[in-house]
Amino acid sequence: MFHYLKKLSQWWLPHTCILCGNLTHSLQDLCSACKLDLPILTQSCQRCANVLTTNINGLICGQCIHQPPPFDYTHSLFLYQPPVTHLIRQLKFSQKLLHARLLGELLAEKICSEWYQNKSLPTVIIPIPLHPKRLQTRGFNQALEIARPIAKQLKLPIITRGFSRIKPTLAQATLPSTERRKNIRQAFAINYKVENQAIAVIDDIVTTGNTIREFCSLLKKNGAARIDVWCCARPNPK
Ligand SMILES: [Zn+2]
Ligand SMILES: [Zn+2]
């Protein structure tokens, strides 16, 4: 009964904007003015989403040409700057799960309207797994929560069983860049048949890319045919 009432109220009651508190006049928790102000990432490497200074589409950065990453495409929705930093931090550290729903909905919009005009969609979604200890402290995996609205809209399955984070790594952000790679090495395990699959891997932010590289190289070693990374934000290069 409670579930039914909750569903009904979501449809019935007006939504308020997560950022400014105004009514949104839509089914999203974001008003059109705040949506227009968001720092959309428009110029980036198609392989790793490194921010580029040119606006020519389909470019690959020098780093990816020199050392191709173990994934085929990266699509980042935003630059990691305010208010996106606020949305993601509050999601992760203040359990604002509504933010995950909104970020997932915004990603789904881009996936449907822009990113896949010239290529086929992946067939399964895999959120980057969290270590059980981190999952216990946080109570949820933010990548999985962001994946839910996307999976719903695209009608794709989310696969979580069979992928685990087996090494309790330190938070990558707390480490100098030289240590980050070492920290994440052999952090994941797979017990799922990914052979010949076209996979979308989801994470909230891709910073140095070490975590996503480590996870995707394991997927590729296990036979994944194609990997597209979908993330909410990518920081500006320093
Ligand atoms: Zn607003
Ligand atoms: Zn690149």
Cα distance between residue 55 and residue 9, in whole Å: 43
pLDDT tens-digit profile of 187-234? Answer: 899 999 999 999 999 999 998 888 999 999 999 999 999 999 999 999
Kindly give the distance from the C-alpha atom of residue 41 to the centroid of ligand 1, in angstroms, as a whole number.
20
Kindly give the distance from the C-alpha atom of residue 22 to the centroid of ligand 1, in angstroms, as a whole number.
6
Cβ pair 171, 138 in contact under 8 A:
no
Kindly give the distance from the C-alpha atom of residue 75 to the centroid of ligand 2, in angstroms, as a whole number.
11
Residues 9 and 119 in one domain: no
Q: Give the residue among 12, 34, 13 at the shortest CA–CA distance from 22.
A: 34
The pTM for the full model equals 0.90
pLDDT of residue 4: 63
pLDDT of residue 179: 77
| The Cα angle at residue 191 between residues 115 and 149, in degrees rounded to 5 | 35
Mean residue pLDDT across the chain: 90
Kindly give the distance from the C-alpha atom of residue 12 to the centroid of ligand 2, in angstroms, as a whole number.
44
Cα distance between residue 199 and residue 71, in whole Å: 10
Residues 33 and 43 in one domain: no
Q: How many folded domains does the chain comprise?
A: 2
pLDDT tens-digit profile of 15-36? Answer: 899 999 999 988 899 999 999 9
Residues 16 and 108 in one domain: no
Kindly give the distance from the C-alpha atom of residue 94 to the centroid of ligand 2, in angstroms, as a whole number.
32
Residues 55 and 12 in one domain: no
Kindly give the distance from the C-alpha atom of residue 10 to the centroid of ligand 2, in angstroms, as a whole number.
40
Where residue 130 falls among pLDDT bands split at 50, 70, 90? very high
Residues 6+ apart with CB under 8 A from 114: none
Kindly give the distance from the C-alpha atom of residue 55 to the centroid of ligand 1, in angstroms, as a whole number.
28
The token pair at 178 is 């030289």
